[in-house]
Amino acid sequence: MKSQFGERVRTLREKQNLYLRQVAPLLEMDTAQLSKIEKGLRQLKREQIPIIAEILKASSDELMTLWLADQIYDVVKDEKMANEAMQVAEQKLNFIKRKKK
């Protein structure tokens, strides 16, 4: 499970029977780049997520979630304190959210 985002994009693209060469130009990149993105070797730019969601007729929220999860995973993978760090981050997140209400 390299990149959840990439794998999902590939699945969606295949479901739509689209080739890299058809999708890549819509994102203003070449097939090589999109291939790398699907394999998790590169990151799609955050602001392109709604675009690719529309192309693949998928939920932007779902893809954003997977994309963010990949970023988070990158930070903590191989880290001994990964779980603890996630807990702390989550608490901070909820703390801030409560304040904003």
Partner DNA sequence: CTTATATTTGCCAATATTTGACAAGTCAAT
Partner DNA sequence: ATTGACTTGTCAAATATTGGCAAATATAAG
Interface residues toward DNA, by CB under 7 A? 19-21, 28-33, 35-36, 38-39, 41-43, 45
Structure tokens that stand for 24 in this block: 């890549």
- Name which of a second copy, DNA, none residue 21 binds, using a CB cut-off of 5 to 8 Å depending on partner kind: DNA
What gap in Å lies between CA 12 and CA 32, rounded to an integer? 18
- Name which of a second copy, DNA, none residue 26 binds, using a CB cut-off of 5 to 8 Å depending on partner kind: none
What gap in Å lies between CA 51 and CA 66, rounded to an integer? 15
14 binds a second copy, rule: CB under 8 A? no
What gap in Å lies between CA 97 and CA 91, rounded to an integer? 10
Q: State the minimum distance, in angstroms, from the CB of residue 1 to DNA.
A: 15
1 binds a second copy, rule: CB under 8 A? yes
Which DSSP category does 78 fall into?
T
Stretch that binds a second copy, among 10-18, 19-27, 37-45, 69-77 (CB under 8 A): 69-77
